[in-house]
A and B are shown apart, each in its own frame.
Chain A
């Protein structure tokens, strides 16, 4: 997973705004917990990804997260003893004791897994559509060294992955017996340390050790900066208002209770409109 440059309104927005938009998408399912809204949010984030050309990257993350969601559903159903509607009785199981699967525990697990999916997708959108270098530049005034350490550690991951692939190929070419895993691990570790030393030398040569705080820059706000700021604020505002008004309230224990589905659908529609509308304006994205 890495940044994918693409001519899109989200890519064109300043990194702080684009990051705030993605974080707002990730925060909404913690404010409005109705599974219909959370499910709609998952589709909204995928839609945002498709609208800014990183849909494939997001789908890849979804493929990894959906099995995790199902695992959460299963584990929650087995472990949690709350809920009144028993749908399956396993009886006494050694070590675990009496296991009754309840509808409430299943639904809670599903809702929790959906929230996890939305958060994973929102962070994937952030990674794929927000330029990390520009983010770093934005954070220099706050904490240069921590920001750079974070960026470099993410940059080292693909470099080390390539090194590991090369080493694996080299080991396949060896005559005779293959080396033990421990030997390989030691070699990979020492290779990573060599890489880190080379990188440290490069940083030193670029004057990083004496890096100064950059002067404040005054970049004018573009139409995309404004649109995504308004969109992020609107999504958070809508979610808070819906939670306060109980339009999309939802609870699981001891029994399932939820607001009428019409309210949840209305909130979902409003969130979709707020999130996707900024993508309609494609002026100045190239």
Chain B
């Protein structure tokens, strides 16, 4: 008899019609109260592993299943997802498809009611989970009015309402801003510590959760490549799986690699390499220019927004007197909380929305890749979606005959880019401005690095590139300049180094470890300078 709350024994699984197994001989045991992080490159099998643990594989997805999965002692070959749900709460990536009911209270009650609990038990279960997750204020709200972060919390509440022994989460923070993402992970930590709920969390952004983990399971091609404590995992991990702080240490030749910012700072302080105490860096400010200088800048701009307002009829103000000028060849990261106005700004740039006041001018066509690349995919073959030259430019010719929905997240994003950019040889339709809205959701570090390189190449060809992103590391990798928005206003507009090394949330992990270190390479170089022995002082001549 196993005491593990989740026990996978030599599980091999193939999706219907696919020869390559998504999981290969996977064995994994999760003890009650353990916090396990599952990581790996895109399409390595993380989601499939969680779906197998939830009983969705094979009951909902079909396919060929070998081995055994037991959740709380229930064998998923005999028990479907409904039975498993009594032991395991599951939270998937997209909160919108996980909400079934009209109000938050009904959503939280739904699972409990399905178990046939009485009204009093249901009411108590709802109250308790709402208080535990801090969503009691949302109980009467309609679910279609909630923000992404609120929806994800409600979906988590619905998964936890029956007090499951284990909770399975598939990249739950991928659609959240840094603040909401961190809050969700801290919430999981609290559940884990206070209720003893085992947590299995699949995540690309390890810097967000590694320090909470008891164990890290890395998958590669559907196989378990590493199953170890965070430090041992980091010692094993290839660079694409390391956190930025660990990568900085690795590049600087420091060991052991740190699992958190706190550990990294302590390690540096112990070696006398830590941050120099002093005044914190001043917050970057929007540059104030004279009227003539502003007009001159607008004249040569690829994109200029001047005094743009967007006020909804009987609704809030989305953009407030926003002015922004982007020059040809410039790369700009738009950052800010969910609802700050990033997507609205991009939509104004592309002409999908019109300002209620102010003007938007562009030097040519604005190619905008919206948040969900799947919205562009309407044909049966990749080759039919975009001209051959556009596919070639995005390195997609190898998959030209595949169905667009079979592509990985990174490939889909590149295909969306090919669709909006069009034929690069067609000079009449070449984009003067390239905009992308949250392009890195669900992407691994390798895919992000490739996208950053592609964006820089577009800028070198003369396009102004503007990308809305929550990912500070990605912004540091591609942008010259960061524009920080809050409530539809620009609150900071400066060089990437100034903005992303001077904040708490909107800062790279390496900057939080070492002041002034924007990227891991920067940090390693800085550490190298600090470690280099000071030149020997000339001996005093008597």
Contacts and interface: CB of A to CB of B under 8 A. Distances in A.
Contact of A175 (B54, B85, B347, B367): B367
A261 interface: no
Contacts of A131: 102-103, 106
A187 B377 contact: yes
Contact of B103 (A5, A140, A166, A197): A5
Given A166-B372, A175-B419, A207 B86 contact: yes
17 contacts: A2-B144, A151-B101, A155-B100, A166-B372, A169-B347, A171-B376, A171-B378, A173-B367, A175-B421, A175-B429, A198-B98, A201-B60, A201-B92, A205-B82, A206-B114, A207-B114, A213-B116
A137 B113 contact: yes
Interface string B343-361: 0000100101000000000
Given A2-B144, A208-B114, A202 B82 contact: no
A215 interface: yes
Contacts of A163: 375
A155 B117 CA distance: 24
Interface in A157-198: 158-159, 163, 166-167, 169-176, 179, 183-184, 186-187, 190-191, 195, 197-198
A133 B158 CA distance: 15
Contacts of A211: 113-114, 116
Interface of B: 54-56, 59-60, 80-83, 85-86, 90, 92, 94, 96-103, 105-106, 110-111, 113-119, 140-142, 144, 158-159, 347, 350, 352, 365, 367-370, 372, 374-379, 387, 390, 405, 419-423, 429, 431
A281 interface: no
Q: Which 7 A-B pairs have the closest CB atoms?
A: A175-B422, A212-B116, A133-B106, A187-B378, A198-B97, A170-B375, A207-B114
A176 B423 contact: yes
A98 to B, nearest CB: 50
B83 A186 contact: no
B367 A202 contact: no
Contacts, number: 162
Interface string A13-46: 0000000000000000000000000000000000
A47 to B, nearest CB: 22
Given A175-B421, A183-B378, A200 B370 contact: no
B378 to A, nearest CB: 4
Given A175-B421, A206-B114, 17 more contacts: A2-B144, A131-B106, A133-B106, A155-B102, A170-B375, A174-B419, A175-B420, A191-B374, A202-B97, A205-B90, A206-B82, A207-B83, A207-B86, A211-B114, A213-B116, A215-B119, A217-B118
Given A3-B102, A5-B140, A215-B118, A204 B368 contact: no
B368 A173 contact: yes
A244 interface: no
A2 B145 CA distance: 12
A217 B117 CA distance: 11
Contacts of A199: 97, 100
Q: Is the interface of A mostly helix, strand, loop or mixed?
A: helix
Nearest to A200: B60
Contacts of B367: 173, 175
Contacts of B140: 5
Q: Select the residue from B114, B352, B372 with max chain A CB neighbours within 10 A.
A: B114
Contacts of B379: 179, 183, 187
Given A158-B144, A207-B114, A133 B378 contact: no
B106 A210 contact: no
B118 A173 contact: no
Contact of A217 (B105, B115, B119, B374): B119
A197 B94 CA distance: 13
A134 interface: yes
B352 A208 contact: no
B420 A212 contact: no
